[in-house]
Structure 1
Amino acid sequence: MQARIDADFKSVDLAVGGPSTAFAFCNTHKLEKCKQCNVDFTALNRVSKILVTNPTLRCPPPPTVVQQKLSQAVANMKDEGNNLYKLKKTREALSKYNMAASIAVQRPAWESAAILREELSTVVSNRSAALLDLGDYLGALVDAETVISVRRQWPKGHFRKAKALVALGRIEEAKDAISLGLQFEPNNTVSHSHAQVDLCLTSCFRSSADTCLS
């Protein structure tokens, strides 16, 4: 085993910050991620930051241990956004969704990725709806694409994408998005008809603040 470790060992010229930061950088350019030096300490520094800000944490706990306070903070901020959205205070709701997303991505790297995917996709999906209402159709599309990349088999991400594409006048692409989303509907048959797609497309032209959030 030691021989294999020695064979794979590669020295890296790095610089380390003080005790209060304990971050690693490339020694030449003092960058966390440096293309010229071909190093990326982003993940390492993220773990380092968590350990520095939690001095009682001697080592990462098992992945089954979840920070309930963080999950509750995400849920509370998302719910505040949903309530504001339903009251037509869309810009204020957007701010809450931004805050919820920022909290969600702070989840430690050693915790289950499934929790992060579910929390982040739900918040970003709602943010997509808010951006759509505010007329930022491209932003709504980017958020919908993010939801799909994080949680591909969740139909709502595809329908969010379809709504944004309809707003952008890209109807055929919207139909494709709906068609793909229908494949992930649990009650949908494998072979869905054009009528189903057209029906969902028609619903994309309607807005319902009370039912579109998660």
Structure 2
Amino acid sequence: MTPGRYGEDQRPNLPAAALAALLTAGLFAALLHTGYHRAQTEAAKLAVVNLSIAPPPPPPPSPPKETPPQQKAPVFAPRPLVAIPTDQPPIQTSPDPVPAPPVPAPAPPAPPAPPAPPSTVQASDLGTRMVSGAPPRYPTESRRHREQGTVVLSLTLDLDGSVAAISVARSSGFDRLDEAALRAVRKWRWAPTMRSGQAVKVKGLVEIPFVLRG
């Protein structure tokens, strides 16, 4: 067999390369583990050292400040008063006169109150002041039975001239004629009656005759 040249037909040694790689990896791992263990040990030492340090002592109290002495104000004695004699006599003064308060003028007397008008006056004839009034209606039954007579009514007129109260002062003798007269006169109106410038109530009588003719 003819030997070849240097470097020809030489194959790599695989087992030797694998062993070298394992050794290298193991060495690297050992170095890493050693460094990690050393770092933990240093950290534990630092922690123990830090815990063992005592707190610093408090600062000493500052000395009290000295207050400066107060200066006393100088005291001056007042000058003595010297009386100077004068030849002028003392002047006497009198107080100013106080003016007397003004006397109020007397109030004028109140005018006398007008006499109150009578609440109700009596009228002799109410017909002269009558404003409106329809004559009473002759009842049909009274005509049929030939009933006749004169009714006298007593009236009280209010302040405005309306009938305030009414009653039969003298009957005609027939109830139908009396009722007809009352119904009619209740609606009559009179002019107000004045006394001293004020309206008053009036009392009076009214005659209502019922007479059949023919």
Q: What interval of TM-score do these two structures reach, taking the shorter chain for normalisation?
A: under 0.3
Comparing both structures, which one devotes a greater share of its residues to helix?
1
Q: TM-score by structure 2 length?
A: 0.16
Q: Which has the larger radius of gyration?
A: 2
Comparing both structures, which one devotes a greater share of its residues to strand?
2
Q: TM-score by structure 1 length?
A: 0.16
